[in-house]
Structure 1
C-alpha cells in the first residue's frame, strides 16, 4: 500500500464552548485538510501533510500532534508567521468560521516549496479547502495536481467569510471547475453546494461536476447521509443514528475515510463499491460527531467496528 499526500491548511480552531456557565473558546488543532490527514492515519493509511506552518509555539503543538497521530511532515515548511486562528461559532447545523492572523501562516506555501519526490510518489493526492483562495498556494496545488501520477481527490470546503470582493465567488467557482475536471473524486457538503451554486439542487450540482470530468462525486448531507454520483448511478446513502455532540470535522472524516480506502483498495470498480465506501465513511463521521473536537475525534477502524456492530 502506498501513501497519500494531503495539501492544505493547518491552524488552531477556537471553538465556541461553555465552562462553569460562562462562554469560552476551546482551543483545538484544526484545518480541514489537517483533519483529513489525521483521519487517514487513524484509519491505517500512510499519509504526508504538505503545507506551511508558523514559527511559534502553536505551530510546535501542531507538529507534535501530527507526529503523534502518525502523519508525516516531509512536505511541510516553516514560515515566519504566527499560527492562524479560526474562531468557530455554532448558530446552525454548520459552524461559522472567522479567520485571524496576518500573514496567514497556512497560506505561505509556494510552488517552489513543494517536495517533488513526496508529491510524485503519492498514490492519492488531496487538494482543496481555503488555501486555494491564496494565489501562492493555489499555484503550489496546481503544480502538485499536474505532477501527481496519483488518484486525485478534491474538496472545495467553502468558507464564505473569506470570499471578499464582487468577483470572489466567481473566481472560486472557476477554481472548483478546474480541479473537478480532472479529479477522480470530488467530495463537498450540501452547504458547499449551496454557496457555489445557490439555485441548483444537490443532484444537479453532482451532475454538473461529473459533466466537467469528475469521476465520482459525493455530497454529504449531514444527518441525512450523503448523495453519491458514480457512473450513471445517483443514490442517497443514509447516515447511522448517533448521539451527536459536535459536528466539527465530520465532513473531513468522510473524506479521510474515502482516501484511506482508496489507498487500501484503489478505486471501486462499480457504483455499488462506492456506496459501500460512503456507508463506511458515514459511520466514521457518526463516531466523530459523538465526541468533541475535530482532529482529536478521528477514530480507528476498530473503534468504528465496535461502535456500529
Structure 2
C-alpha cells in the first residue's frame, strides 16, 4: 500500500489466494478434524484482525466443502470458490513431540488449481493487498495466470512460499515459479523449512537469493524470514530487524498456525499503516506478530489468537 492509502478511513480490502482444506489430526487421543489450509488460515486471521477479506480457493461441492464454506461465513470471509472435480482437499497429519505437523495430502490437494475468472479478477482489482500462500508455483500455467491477474504487484502483492512436499510435483519448477513472482512482490515470506525443502540449504541462503537482485539502498521486496523457535527477522532495503519468540503462559500445543499467524499480523500492519519504512516501525510490527504467533501455538489448530498477556497488539 502507498502512504496515501493510510488516510482512507474504510476497512482495508485484502484478497488471499491459495488452499482451503480439512486438516485431519491423528494422535494418541484419537482423530480430530479442523477447517484449515495456509491461505484459509491467513484469510481468517486477517478478518479477525479487522480486514475486509476475500479468499480465492478450490473447494469441493461435498460435505467437507460445506463445512469450509460455513466456517468462512462464520468468520466473515467471502469465498470465491474454484471448482474441484476430485472433491475437497484434505491433509492427514500428526504432530511431533514439539508440536510440528507432518502431512499426507489427498488427490484433490495435489491437483489444486485456482480459476481466475471474472469474479476473481473483480475482487483482485478492488483489493488493497493481495496475499498468496501455498500456491501451485510448479504449474507454469497457473503461475502465469496469477502474474497476469495481479496488477501493481510491487505495491500490494505479498507471497508466502509455503511449499508442501506432498503437494509439489516439481521442486525445481516450484522454486523457479515462486522466485519469478517474488521478484515483483512487495513482501515475501520464507521459512527455514521452505529453505530445506526447496534448496536443501540454510534459511540465510534462501534470503540471500531473494535479495540478490535488489538495491539495498532503495525500496524493494521486503523479506520476512521465520525460523521457528529462533524467531523471525525482516530484511527491507538497508533495514534488518529481528524478534525472538514471545514467552506466554502455558505450553506450546500445536505449531501448525504459527507462520500463518505471523504473516496475518504483518499484513494487518501493512494494511492499516502502510509498508513500514524504518527500523522502529518494522520492529514494532514484528514484535506484534511474534506475540500473536505465541498465543496461536498455545491452542490446538491454526485459528489466530491474540495474546491475553504480553505485548499489546496495536492496530
Note the C-alpha offset of 1:287: 0.4
What displacement does 1:290 show? 0.4
Q: Which residue of 2 aligns with 1:293?
A: 301
Note the 1:225-236 alignment, pairs <5 A. Answer: 225-236=231-242
- Structure having the higher helix fraction is 1
Matches within 5 A, 1:139-178: 139-146=144-151, 150-164=155-169, 168-178=170-180
How many Å apart are 1:136 and its aligned residue? 5.5
What residue number does 1:49 align with? 55
Instruction: Judge which range, 224-233 or 207-216, deviates more.
Output: 207-216
- Check conservation: 1:230, 1:271, Cα contact below 8 A: no
Partner of residue 102, structure 2: 96
| Contact 1:11 1:106 (8 Å CA) reproduced | no
Contact 1:55/1:81, CA 8 A, preserved across alignment? no
Measure how far apart 1:2 and its partner are. Answer: 2.3
What residue number does 2:188 align with? Answer: 186
CA contact (8 A) 1:52 1:106 kept: no
266-275 vs 217-226, which deviates more? 266-275
Residue 115 (1) aligns with residue 117 (2): no
- The answer (yes or no) to whether the contact 1:32–1:252 under 8 Å persists in 2 is yes
Give, in whole Å, the separation in 2 of the partners of 1:298 and 1:234. Answer: 26
The answer to whether the aligner puts 1:28 opposite 2:38 as a matched pair is no
**Displacement of 1:144:** 2.5
Match of 2:287 in 1: 279
Q: Which string of whole-angstrom CA distances, capped at 9 and with x for unpartnered residues, describes residues 177-205 of structure 1?
A: 11210111111111112222223x32332
Alpha-carbon distance in structure 2 between the residues aligned to 1:230 and 1:305? 30
Q: Structure 2: state its 5+ residue gaps.
A: 1-10, 215-219
Question: In 2 relative to 1, CA 105–147 (structure 1 residues): closer, same or farther, beyond 3 Å?
Answer: farther
1:208-265 alpha-carbon deviations (Å, 9 max, x no partner)? 2122455211111112211221222333211101321111111011111111111111
Please give the secondary structure, in 1, of the residue aligned with 2:179.
helix
Match of 1:126 in 2: 131
Q: CA deviation at 1:113?
A: 5.8
Q: State the aligned residue count.
A: 294
Question: Per the alignment, in what secondary structure is the counterpart of residue 97 of structure 1?
Answer: strand
What is the CA RMSD across the aligned residues, in angstroms? Answer: 2.3
Q: Residue 6 of structure 2 aligns with which residue?
A: none
Deviation track 1:126-181 (CA, whole Å, cap 9, x = no partner) reads: 113143344564344223334668511001101123334xxx22111101211210
